[in-house]
Structure 1
């Protein structure tokens, strides 16, 4: 009693037609093009996370490269490591970040959560417009203080220290 029940099609409406045409010119068999070779520069897709400066309870961490699924764990680990070295506040300089996807955003949130447990905090500086848009779309701009430059981030950190 298993009948295949399908909805009736409307009269006069045709389903989409999909056609695949591979026209070949007459002559010898078609050869595949040679494989595309991309020069290996060694830097494409790499991520560098470096503490550039420590001032009081603040450290500037410069991130360079691409933050994606492959490099997100490295970012998280290095930020947590930088916090473990002493400075309570991290200013993450994003000026040299070429690309950041959802995995990168997740790594930032994970690092923030781990750093906050020990009383630390993270702010972002010099975030590129496309990445700033991602932060706004995801609501992460409310989770992280975002500054136009490193000096503004450090000034905010300094003013929050003196107001205590």
Structure 2
């Protein structure tokens, strides 16, 4: 197990449990990450055998790539800005659909130190798209860039686990 999960404050057993649950259900996961720059995918792939369930990850820091790679609606991006719950939802669905996975995780937010488009640092929106309705959560946290990004990754793993636990087995 990688030390990355621990460095981000995530119990390694939680990540292993998520990977094992996906494997047992014959399901897969993909990510579309903005502020976390691929950290969620890196944490998931830190588990031996993760290649059986992790399809891939899109790092879509630039707004144009959110549209081109993750399929985010350009009009929604223009109307709401890059840091919005709807964008997290679309990133999650885009990761799932574009990577042909059972589950998609999408993250967008402001790690700081400065606000972005009027949104304060520490604001994070996370979406998890699976077989049912998309789960979207907003996290308001403090601290430096590392603390914000670590909190976002922790919450993304928690939300994925919650989604898996609530959904019917198999897709």
Q: TM-score, normalised by structure 2?
A: 0.29
Q: Which is helix-richer, 1 or 2?
A: 2
**Bigger proportion of residues as strand:** 1
By relative contact order (CA 8 Å, sep 6+), the higher-ranking structure is: 2
